[in-house]
Amino acid sequence: MPEKIKVYHLEDYKIMREGVKFLLSKDDEIEMVGGSKTADEVYSYLDKNKVDVLILDIYLDGLDVKTVDGFEVCSTVHKKYPDVKVIAHSVYDDADRVARIMNAGAVGFVSKKSGYEELVHAIKVAYTGKKYICIETSKKLKNLNEFLEGMVDTLRSENEFFSNREKEVLELLAKGYSSKDIAKELFITERTVETHRKNMVEKAKVKNTVELVAYASSRGFIKS
């Protein structure tokens, strides 16, 4: 099967992250690789991992100290990680904000009033390098469609983070399984399981399995 579109979600409301994560994961072509509520977490994730599409909540009022501005995040991501397509996801769908966010480098705009199919659609369109504005909003802003003009296609490379087998091991680790338990479950030897653990610890640059699971959990690698 072809590689899935790797999607990261920046949004300060946890329940929204949780919901979107599930809804988008229903689509076979999409893989939710992470989600967080601060821009810094996004940057540090993007430094190490490949992400195709970033869903960005424009207004992050932020629990953290400094107030983060969604437009700024968008243009920073656009400059620093040009391969990442940004889709703005917002409750505000007025002309001014849509224009600003598209100028800041977003390739898509989806109102939160729209359902998840709109978001799925926007992601797929963005992935092909085109721009998209959700039906709801574009109806409202039909004079603004000049903004939807061609953009340069970007390159892509980088590698996957955890392999499928590693992810299987990871999930069982998070359930409290020992290497021996996992070996039985997956019909491989304990040694192999240990190798997978070791490799993941190295990849994630963490000290041990406990931190690995904390790391993976906070980035949404572990289902539950």
Q: Rounded to whole angstroms, how far apart are CA atoms 196 and 125? A: 36
Question: Measured in whole angstroms, how far is the alpha carbon of residue 157 from the centre of its chain?
Answer: 17
Q: Closest distance between DNA and the C-beta of residue 185, in Å?
A: 11
Q: Which of 174, 182, 183, 200 binds a copy of itself (CB under 8 A)?
A: 174
Tell me the C-alpha distance between 75 and 5, whole Å.
21
Residue 221 amino acid letter: F
Residue found by looking up tokens 């993007």 in the block: 46
Q: Which of a copy of itself, DNA, none binds 159 (CB below 5-8 Å, type-dependent)? A: DNA
Q: Residue 222, interface with a copy of itself (CB under 8 A)?
A: yes
**112 binds, options a copy of itself, DNA, none, Cβ within 5 to 8 A by partner type:** a copy of itself
CB of 176 to a copy of itself, least distance (A): 3
Residue whose C-alpha is closest to residue 110's, from 54, 166, 72 = 54
Which residues make up the interface to DNA (CB under 7 A)?
Answer: 3, 159-160, 163-166, 178-180, 186, 188-189, 191-192, 194-198, 201, 207-210
Q: Is 147 in the site for a copy of itself (CB under 8 A)?
A: no
**Contact partner at residue 160 from DNA, a copy of itself, none, CB < 5 to 8 Å by partner kind:** DNA
Nearer to DNA, 25 or 195 (CB): 195
Give which of a copy of itself, DNA, none residue 22 binds (C-beta under 5 to 8 Å, depending on kind): a copy of itself
**Is the CB of 66 or the CB of 176 nearer to DNA?**
176
Judge contact between 106 and 100, C-beta under 8 A: no
Give the nearer residue to DNA in terms of CB position, either 138 or 163: 163
Contact criterion met (CB below 8 Å) for 9 and 26: no
CB of 172 to DNA, least distance (A): 10
In order, the DSSP letters of 53-122 are: EEEEESEE--SSSSPEEHHHHHHHHHHH-TTSEEEEEES---HHHHHHHHHTT-SEEEETTS-HHHHHHH
- Whether the CB-CB separation of 151 and 108 falls below 8 Å is answered with no
Contact residues for a copy of itself, defined by CB under 8 A: 12-16, 18-20, 22-23, 63, 91, 112-116, 119, 173-178, 206-211, 213-214, 217-218, 220, 222, 224
